[in-house]
Structure formats: structure tokens, C-alpha cells
Structure 1
């Protein structure tokens, strides 16, 4: 799934971050990615599964290989054992390569990736990006990352040390729900803006802005 974010959407997100930060010492970073992983291993796993399923089927029902020989070679003289083993290897390899080729199509590969795998990899990418873009970049350790992986329809909110000390994953439930709902409807920018506003309220409650506060991280949406 590809969802485009326009220049106007970028401006809206930047403005939403600026507004949300007027009441808090926290800093909000928003990052979007089309997907969080290539999932090439998933395609390989399906190809291997089909390969072993075919070999297991032939082992359990040998006439299948005889029928395959007859289909390809006709009802000629009975094949030798070597010929049958060569046929078995060839068909098994053909099935493996065909599935591997089909699974190169990303939408199919993504659709067949287990949900738990998507969740783990989106979380892993979010933490990696947080460490690179936000962790320890604020004086009070009050940076928070909103990460949206559009293809997986998953999002993560990752906070720096001071934020995780006073919040739990449930704290961000309303913001996550608003974000994902709009993404599913094809409006990622609306979801990001809504999530920013709700996160800003949480941050303002725990980390109200003081006179000495300064903007430590640029207010913008980063697209990967």
C-alpha cells in the first residue's frame, strides 16, 4: 500500500507539532515510511514450505510422480529410477523458484507476512530511528517519536527516558487509535496531526513548558 504525503500535508504536520509544543517542554518528531522491512525472508520461507510440502506429498503418495511423468513424457516405457529422481528434483526446484519469483511482488509478500512479524519489525525500526533521531537530543530527555509504517498499517510511539518514566504504552492508546484509523481511510496526514495533538496534551501534563524552554528538534515530518 502506498500513501502519498503532499507538501501541504508536510506543512500541516509541522504546524501541528509547533502548536503541540507551545504547552510543553517535550519535543515531538514524526517519521513515516512506506514499509519497515523488505520481508525477503518471508518469500523464502514460503518457497521452502512449498518445496517440502511437494516432497512430502510425493513421499506419502508416490503415484503423483508417476502421473507427472506421464503428463510430461507420455505413457512410454517405464522410467528408470534415475529418471524419476531427476524428475522429482526438477519439479521440486521449479516449484521453489516459481514461488520465490511470485513472492518478489511486495504487495503479496506483505499480505502474506504474519501480523506478529510485521508488528515486531515495525517496532524494531521505530526504536532504531528513535535512537538515531531523538534519543538524548533534548536536554531533559523529553523527545518522543511518532513512527508510521504505512504498508503495515502500524505505528509506534517511542519516548525518551524522562517520558517512559511517567507513561506506559496504554498512555498513547487514544493517539495510536486516531493515527491508525485515519491511515486505514487513506488520510495519513490527518492521523499524524490528530496523534500529535493528543500526544501534546500528555506531554503538557507531565512536562509543562517553562520560560527557558527552546525548540531543540526541528518541527517537521520526515519521510523515509
Structure 2
């Protein structure tokens, strides 16, 4: 399992924080970047993988080597299910095979929304918080904004930036893609929400993990 804390190097974390700082010098908007290992534990998918692969393996073994004995099949199937279920924790690609794409999308969106409120992005003075949310297991990126920003920028527009970040991560250029899109969204924020004379940094610029 890829760990959120080590997904970006320390140098990349500093680059992300610097990018956010640079953006916020031009806008009253508040930008937060966050990366999590997964948006859900997907217990039903782990069980499905375990019993599907474990059961099939047990069936093949008993059929070929153990005389098709039910007495051997049941314990083998149970042990196989337990082993494969454990393996899904170490091998995310295996787990993803048993999770519908729609569920991946839904869980990431829900986790991003929860994080938006947990990290207090809804408390900014002008309701101009923006969350760049990366979920590693799902290979998904979600961008959420507060009500003040949605008056000027649609969620569909933000998702185009999110998709570019996801593509960059798949290509091994996650930091570059994230910083590029933070700057792109920042330019839009600056045009609609220019910085004010009494502006203060209300949220941390450091990359958050969870």
C-alpha cells in the first residue's frame, strides 16, 4: 500500500507549499492540498476478492490433486480467502479489480467533502476555500470549492483540472501536475477574488495527509 506521507518527497512538499503561497499572494482565495492513502477500506471488495480467488484456487487444487473432496475444499477455500483478503492490503491493483468504477468515484467524492469540512475550508472569511484532494488507492483527484467560488467557477471546470492532475500522477509527474493546476486555478481565483489589503493566511499551505 502506498503511504500518503511518503508519496511526495520532502522537496516536492516544499514545492507544493511554495506554489500555494505564491497563488495566495494574488488572491483572497485559500488553497489547501491533501493526499490520502485511500478514501475507503472497501471491506466488501476485499471479501469478494478473497472468496472469489481463494475459492477458485481451492476448487482447482481439490479437483486436480485431492480427489474433488469437499472435506479438503472447505478449509482450503477458507484459508485461501483469508490469504487473498490480506493480500489486497498489500496489492492495491488487485483490490481495485473488485471495486466498481462508480463506487470508487463516489467514495472519493464523499471523502473529499468530509475532508473539506474537517480541515475547516468552509470557515474562510469570504467562503473562498479550495481543496485539491488526491486519493492514491483509487487513482482519483477531486477538487472542491466553497460557495463563494462556485458563484464564479463550476464544479465541471474544476474537475477538468482534477483530471489533469490524475493523469500527471499516472505518468509519474504528480507534483508537477498538482502545482501546475494549483497555479491555473489560482489565476482564475485572482481574477474573480483579488487579494485584499487586510488579507490573512487563514489555512495552512503545507500538504496535508490523512
Normalised by the length of structure 2, the TM-score is 0.81
Matched, 1:72 2:66: yes
Aligned to 1:124: 110
Residue among 44, 47, 64 paired with 2:47 = 44
Distance in structure 2 (CA, Å) of the matches to 1:189 and 1:53: 41
SS of the residue corresponding to residue 134 of structure 2 reads: strand
Distance in structure 2 (CA, Å) of the matches to 1:91 and 1:111: 25
Deviation, 1:116, is 1.7
Matched, 1:13 2:16: yes
Residue among 49, 56, 80 paired with 1:98 = 80
Aligned to 2:175: 189
Moved more, 12-21 or 180-189: 180-189
Moved more, 2-11 or 22-31: 2-11
Q: Can you give the 5+ residue segments of structure 1 that lack an aligned partner in the other structure?
A: 58-66, 75-86
Matched, 1:24 2:27: yes
Contact 1:174 1:198 in 2 (8 A): no
Distance in structure 1 (CA, Å) of the matches to 2:29 and 2:178: 17
Q: Can you give the 5+ residue segments of structure 2 that lack an aligned partner in the other structure?
A: none
SS of the residue corresponding to residue 219 of structure 1 reads: coil
Q: What does the per-residue CA deviation read over 1:155-195, in whole Å, with 9 as the maximum and x for residues that have no partner?
A: 11111121223322222144223311210112221122112
Query: For residues 93 and 209 of structure 1, do their structure 2 counterparts lie closer, same or farther at Cα, with a shift above 3 Å needed?
Result: same
Distance in structure 1 (CA, Å) of the matches to 2:116 and 2:143: 9
TM superposition outliers: structure 1 runs of 4+ over 6 Å: 50-54
Q: What does the per-residue CA deviation read over 1:61-81, in whole Å, with 9 as the maximum and x for residues that have no partner?
A: xxxxxx95x96369xxxxxxx
SS of the residue corresponding to residue 194 of structure 2 reads: coil
- Supply the RMSD in Å over aligned alpha carbons: 2.9
Bigger relative contact order, structure 1 or 2, given CA contacts below 8 A and separation 6+? 1
Matched, 1:200 2:186: yes
Query: For residues 49 and 7 of structure 1, do their structure 2 counterparts lie closer, same or farther at Cα, with a shift above 3 Å needed?
Result: closer
Distance in structure 2 (CA, Å) of the matches to 1:172 and 1:193: 14
Distance in structure 2 (CA, Å) of the matches to 1:99 and 1:93: 10
Normalised by the length of structure 1, the TM-score is 0.77
Distance in structure 1 (CA, Å) of the matches to 2:190 and 2:71: 65
Distance in structure 2 (CA, Å) of the matches to 1:185 and 1:93: 43
Matched, 1:138 2:124: yes
Deviation, 1:196, is 0.7
